[in-house]
Structure 1
């Protein structure tokens, strides 16, 4: 563009010099001819044509000059625009570099996050597996618990249905009983416990309410000189006899016995004082009779 402008300026200068020389020469010739000879009409026409041509060239040169000026202005505008664009391009390059740096950092962060995500997924899988195992164990425990609860309910029902039998009695507060001329059923009148009401203090009888195994216990105390003794009867059958001699030396004698008997519902157990024997009891409860149901049959 600068070369074109230079050439146009050079051409303008050359044309201007030639036009001035030609104009001067023609003027001198015209002045001489004007003063010497009369002009031929053809020559006058030629001169007019030449002058017209010279004017046209100057007009074109002026137009070219104006174009060059416009081109210079346009070139300056382009240079300014290029400068602005260069500045913008530099700014864009800087921004692009920053963006690329941020992109690189983000890619690194994404790589780290991807690694952490893989680790978290692995831990999650492990946790899910453990959770599944715990759920299975919990289900097993729930099943076992349900079975245990069902068994407990069954035992509670059986226990509720099972008769409860237990009694504990003392003989008397009167002191010494006997000796008598005949065998005498002992009536333990001091009732401390009588669950199930299987013992009757009016008769001295313990009646088994259900078939089962029973544990019975008795304690006999002798105070007066002679013998203290007791019979144990099941229904009308004597199944135990115990005897202890009491000397007149101030030393009292007693014995304790325990029995485990299989009884049918309605069987009766009673204690009998043999004739000629004595037994002692008072508020100290030295002579007692007790029993309980171990289990049903």
Structure 2
């Protein structure tokens, strides 16, 4: 009997406690519900913002691709224009160089016979017909290059027919560079092409002594500047 009354009192007290705490529990549930709604609203706004930024990023990516394509076109155009400009400058340089290029040409012949030439004697073709640029010296018989360049030389020599063999040489700065051979007299010719520095000398030497060389225009020495070579091509075209 006593125990029954005790448990009844305990249930009553527990009920009162539950009734007292129930409003608080309901308030916490309401507060949790409000917080969830706010979080959902904020997430919705963030999602919309992210979508907006993604759309803007897509637009920027497309614009960036368009700009890259335009830059590539501009680079190609610039490269093409630069090549045209370089070709134009090169053409101007060539015209200026050709316009300033020196003309060099000579032709001289042996007027009189050389009856008794010595060994290693330099032949003087004394009768000058052409000497543009004054490179040939009809007193010494050698040609001195007035400018650096590629030169072409030619000589024709008629020797005494009584000579069994006769040898001549092209000489560059005193050194032999080419041989000419006449067998049993007659005429021999030879042409050489030389890259000369300014001041280099070219001449014809007789190697064998005592054999006459015919003059009266039968023996001659000639040459001309084929192409002038410039040390630098620094022509200012600005």
> Structure 2-normalised TM-score?
0.54
From 220, 228, 233, the counterpart of 1:296: 228
From 109, 113, 120, the counterpart of 1:170: 109
Shift of 1:275: 3.2
**3-state SS in 1 of match to 2:214:** strand
**3-state SS in 2 of match to 1:280:** coil
Determine the C-alpha separation between the residues in 2 that align with 1:180 and 1:292. Answer: 27
Shift of 1:151: 7.8
**3-state SS in 2 of match to 1:187:** coil
Shift of 1:224: 3.5
**3-state SS in 2 of match to 1:201:** coil
Match of 2:190 in 1: 257
Match of 1:215 in 2: 152
Rg larger for = 1
Q: Report runs of 4+ in structure 1 exceeding 4 Å deviation.
A: 150-156
Match of 2:172 in 1: 234
**1:112-171 alpha-carbon deviations (Å, 9 max, x no partner):** xxxxxxxxxxxxxxxxxxxxxxxxxxxxxxxx9xx98x9876544322311111111111
> How large is the RMSD of aligned CA atoms in angstroms?
2.3
Are the equivalent residues in 2 in contact too, given 1:184–1:274 (CA < 8 A)?
yes
Determine the C-alpha separation between the residues in 2 that align with 1:214 and 1:181. Answer: 28
Are the equivalent residues in 2 in contact too, given 1:230–1:273 (CA < 8 A)?
yes
Match of 1:179 in 2: 116
Are the equivalent residues in 2 in contact too, given 1:218–1:288 (CA < 8 A)?
yes
Matched, 1:281 2:215: yes
Which protein is richer in helix relative to its size? Answer: 1
> Structure 1-normalised TM-score?
0.44
Structure 1: gaps spanning 5 or more residues? 1-143, 247-251
Relative to structure 1, is the Cα distance of residues 162 and 181 closer, same or farther in structure 2, using a 3 angstrom cutoff? Answer: closer
Which of structures 1 and 2 has the larger relative contact order (alpha carbons within 8 angstroms, sep 6+)?
2
Are the equivalent residues in 1 in contact too, given 2:156–2:189 (CA < 8 A)?
yes
**3-state SS in 1 of match to 2:98:** helix
Structure 2: gaps spanning 5 or more residues? 1-83, 230-238
Determine the C-alpha separation between the residues in 2 that align with 1:183 and 1:290. Answer: 20
Give the total of aligned pairs.
142
Match of 2:127 in 1: 190
Determine the C-alpha separation between the residues in 2 that align with 1:204 and 1:265. Answer: 18
**1:57-80 alpha-carbon deviations (Å, 9 max, x no partner):** xxxxxxxxxxxxxxxxxxxxxxxx
